[in-house]
Structure 1
Amino acid sequence: MPEKTTLSESGYGFVLKLDDAIPVSDSTGLPPVRYNLSIEPGECVFVECRDDVRAAQFTDFCAGLLPVKKEEEANGKQGSVSCMGLNWAELDERRAQALRGRIGRITGDSGWIDLYEMHLNILWPSLHHSRTPYDKLVAEAVHLSQLFGLPGLPTQLPEKLSPLDRKRSEYVRAFMNRPSLLLLENPVSLGAPVELYNAFFTELTVARERGCAVLWIGSERSAWAGYARPGMQRFRLGGNGLIK
């Protein structure tokens, strides 16, 4: 955890907390067992998972998109998934969407909408989930684009960009709007230029220093080996759930 973390949003104890939560999931996705995980502001937690579908469902679970089994279905204690002190199950759709506006994500499939130019793809989550003025979002997106090696905010269709520039665009979208939580599925491409690695790790550290919590889920431990430090939580996500 960074030594100078700024906890401007310290009204809650954990940014993300899974408390004996059992996901509603079919047998091909996230195992329906009890999950426990707590991430403090500024903390970075690593989860090794070699199943892309399982990894995607786990991040959906953390983001309140995959529901928790109710007490009668769970045969015992009612579990919960909370983000910034708020239980996803207790939020109406409007409040849940507003809370998701505080989350930055990198997903395994990228989720680009091919019919929209890349700048719209990048800006859309912030426009949908927050009330930040459009001009301010554009200025932030241009700044982040340049940090990650793009000449400016890309305006081409996703398919017209190189794989490397699409990766840069993923970083821009994830760090937009100063997120309080980052959910990152395989965020690092091991073949990327060292300059892009350095830019990603630098921005990740800056986010953590202002209190952003990070859940990094990936298939290869080597991807985070250069960033991990003693004391950081590490788990493995497999057929038995989340195990240290």
Structure 2
Amino acid sequence: MRELVEEAMLRFDAGRTEADAWLAPRLHATLRMTRAEAANAGLWNYMALAVAPDFVLWRHMPPGTTDAGAPRKVNSARFVGPHYSQAFARLWWAAEMFRDGPDYGPAEVACGNQDMINTALRLDAIDHKPTALALVSVLKKLSDNGATRLGDRVNALCTAVNVAGTTLMYEVIGPEDPPRHDALTDWIEDVESAPAVPWERLPEGPDDGTARRSSCDVLSRMFERFAAEAPLRDRTRAAVAVDG
């Protein structure tokens, strides 16, 4: 862990948010565990408070100073918060939810957009793997096409997917196969003999099953319509409210 965070701080000091996409899959492949084990908040608190508090400060310290000239402070949730805010938990869970079996490529794309991991990790819908991968597919298409206000579009998309999920059953629209728990168990048990994760290419995750392409495709087309129709935040109104 120390080697990973020190390398991340060295590589991405000029653009600290960019560290997330590099670190998330490598953190996940290094800390091999089940979701039940990862749900233990004490593990992540220990990581942030004892193993690498310097990384938490480096990654999440707001720039500049307060109006009074004092240094800004890191939100306590980055040390001991919920899984979608805590500095290390958010990365592990993002890699877990957005990987496609052993392929961390979708997770790397998701973690390259702060609005995706900050918003999507709060949604119950991404427990459904084809839904999570469809979100990444739409994000990548928007990014590749040079969409303006990408962050606002991602937030609007996540909101639309969450609202629609109250009436639509994504599990029925895009069925998925059950994960291979035996493969996950084998991957976890191999941790003692596994080499350190590579730095110049993505590691390989557990070969516990990939999402059905047909399910990802049908949900991607649906979410593309959501993205096209979802209203974006009115920043003009927000700016007036702040000025007022």
Q: What TM-score do the two structures reach when normalised by structure 1?
A: 0.25
Q: Which has the higher strand share?
A: 1
